Amino acid sequence: MTESEGLYARVVQKWPLLPGRALNALVAIQSAISHHISETAGREMEAGGIRPMALDLLLNTWVGLLHCYVANGPFGRPRARRSSGMGPRFWTTSSCS
């Protein structure tokens, strides 16, 4: 994420202007991520590691928070990548929540 954060932030901000092939690629990437999150979250819910919830809500919340986080780079650390140096904390906290 850190290596491509700037590119991803621009894609998130400009997605309505992307050509069809680029939108298809973005949907494919998000679909692959959703698949892996669904599998992991399902196992964790069954094992009691996380609270049971609807997977569509979990995935939409995660994507929304991620997009809010990368799109609002000027708030907080304007010249640094927002995910750099955060490690696991990036996935558990957000300035957009």
Report yes or no: 13 and 71 within 8 Å, Cβ to Cβ: yes
**pTM metric for this prediction:** 0.61
- For every residue of 44-56, DSSP letters joined together read HHHHTSS----HH
Q: pLDDT tens, 44-90?
A: 999 999 999 999 899 888 888 888 877 776 554 444 455 555 555 54
C-alpha span between 80 and 84 (Å, rounded): 8
pLDDT, tens digit, 9 for 90 and up, residues 4-43: 777 888 888 888 899 999 899 888 988 898 899 999 999 9
